[in-house]
C-alpha cells in the first residue's frame, strides 16, 4: 500500500534485523577470551603449587634439623658414657644436654609428622586444582570455538544485511530517508508502524479513517497522531 512507504518499511525490516544481529554479535564477542572462572582456577592452582612447595621446603629443613639433633645427641651420649669425663658438674651438664637434645628430637619428629600430613593434603589439593583447570580449559576451548563460529556467522550475516540496506537506500527519497532516520533515533529504533484493524502497532492508538485513506493512497508520508511514526498498510 504505497510504493513510497513500502521502501521505508522494507528498510526498517532490514534495520531491525541488523540491530538484532549487532546485539547478538556484542553478546558473542563479550564471551570471547578467558572467563573469570578460568582465571580464578589458574590462580587457585598457582596458590596450591606455592603452598606445596613451601611445605616441601619446611619438611626438608625439619629433616636437616632432625639429623643434626640426632647427631648431636649421639655425640653427647658418647662423651657422657665414655668414662673420660670425671667431673660431676660436667657429667650433670652433659646429662642435661642429652635430655634437651632428646626433647628437641621429639619436637622435630612431631613437627615433621604434622608437616608430612599437611603436605599430603596439599598434594591432594594440587591434584584437584590441576584436574579442575584441565576440565575448565577443555570446556572453555569448546565454548570459544562455538562462539568464534557464531561470530563468523553473525559477521557474515551483517555484511549481507548492510549490502541489502545500501541497495534499498538508493531507491528511497533522501528527505523520506532523513525523516525515517530521525524517527528511528527518537522512537526506539522503529520509525515505521504497521496499521492493523485501524490500530497503529507502534503505540496501540486508533488511526482515523481519513488517515487510513491517505495511507492507502500512498502519495505522502502519513504520521500517527500519537507516536509520530510513519504509518504503513500491508497490501
Q: Give the model confidence (pLDDT) of 199-232 as tens digits.
A: 999 999 999 999 999 999 888 999 999 999 999 9
Q: What residues does 206 pair with on adjacent strands?
A: 199
Q: What is the pLDDT of residue 2?
A: 61
CB contact at 8 A, 178 and 191: no
Whether residue 166 lies inside any domain: the answer is no
Residue 167 lies in a domain: no
Any domain includes 131: yes
Give the domain-ending residue among 135, 161, 187: 161
Burial class (CB in 10 A: 0-12, 13-18, 19+), 66: middle
Could you list the mean pLDDT of each consecutive 10-residue stretch along the chain, which spans 235 residues?
A: 83 97 96 94 97 97 94 88 82 89 94 97 97 97 97 98 96 95 96 96 96 90 97 88
Residue 70 maps to which CATH number? 1.10.287
Residues near 97 by beta carbon (within 8 Å), at least 6 away in sequence: 76
pTM: 0.71
56 occurs within a structural domain: yes
In a domain, 168, yes or no: no
Same domain, 153 and 49: yes
- Taken in order 102, 103, 107, 113, is the CA torsion positive or negative? positive
Task: Please tell me whether residues 185 and 139 are part of one structural domain.
Answer: no
**Residue 19 sits in the same domain as residue 41:** no
Same domain, 44 and 140: yes
List the domain range (segments joined by +) for residue 78: 31-161
Residue where a domain stops, chosen among 101, 130, 161? 161
- The answer on 35 and 16 residing in a single domain is no
Give the CA distances from residue 19 to residues 24, 34, 159, 168, in Å, rounded to whole numbers and listed in that order.
9, 27, 13, 17
Minimal CA–CA distance to 148: which of 31, 22, 23?
31
Number of domains into which the chain is organized: 2
Question: Is residue 47 a part of any domain in this protein?
Answer: yes
* Residue 116 counted as domain residue: yes
Which of 161, 184, 208 terminates a domain? The answer is 161
Give pLDDT tens digits for 93-126. Answer: 888 999 999 999 999 999 999 999 999 999 999 9
For residue 41, being part of any structural domain is answered with yes
Q: Are residues 151 and 131 in the same domain?
A: yes
Residues 21 and 101 in one domain: no
Question: Is 207 exposed, middle or buried (CB count within 10 Å of its CB: 0-12, 13-18, 19+)?
Answer: buried
Residues 10 and 110 in one domain: no
Amino acid at each position: 500500500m504505497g510504493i513510497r512507504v513500502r521502501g521505508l518499511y522494507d528498510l526498517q525490516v532490514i534495520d531491525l534485523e541488523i540491530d538484532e544481529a549487532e546485539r547478538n554479535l556484542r553478546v558473542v564477542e563479550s564471551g570471547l577470551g578467558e572467563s573469570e572462572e578460568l582465571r580464578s582456577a589458574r590462580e587457585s592452582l598457582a596458590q596450591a603449587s606455592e603452598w606445596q612447595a613451601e611445605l616441601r621446603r619446611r619438611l626438608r629443613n625439619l629433616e636437616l634439623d632432625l639429623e643434626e639433633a640426632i647427631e648431636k645427641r649421639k655425640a653427647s651420649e658418647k662423651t657422657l658414657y665414655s668414662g673420660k669425663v670425671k667431673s660431676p658438674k660436667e657429667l650433670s651438664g652433659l646429662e642435661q644436654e642429652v635430655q634437651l637434645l632428646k626433647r628437641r628430637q621429639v619436637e622435630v619428629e612431631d613437627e615433621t609428622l604434622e608437616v608430612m600430613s599437611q603436605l599430603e593434603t596439599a598434594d591432594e589439593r594440587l591434584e584437584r586444582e590441576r584436574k579442575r583447570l584441565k576440565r575448565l580449559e577443555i570446556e572453555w576451548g569448546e565454548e570459544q570455538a562455538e562462539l568464534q563460529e557464531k561470530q563468523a556467522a553473525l559477521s557474515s550475516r551483517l555484511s549481507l544485511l548492510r549490502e541489502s540496506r545500501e541497495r534499498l537506500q538508493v531507491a528511497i527519497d533522501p528527505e523520506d530517508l532523513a525523516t525515517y532516520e530521525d524517527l528511528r533515533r527518537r522512537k526506539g529504533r522503529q520509525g515505521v508502524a504497521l496499521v492493523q484493524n485501524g490500530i497503529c502497532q507502534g503505540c496501540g492508538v486508533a488511526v482515523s479513517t481519513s488517515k487510513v485513506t491517505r495511507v492507502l493512497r500512498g502519495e505522502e508520508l502519513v504520521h500517527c497522531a500519537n507516536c509520530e511514526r510513519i504509518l504503513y498498510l500491508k497490501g
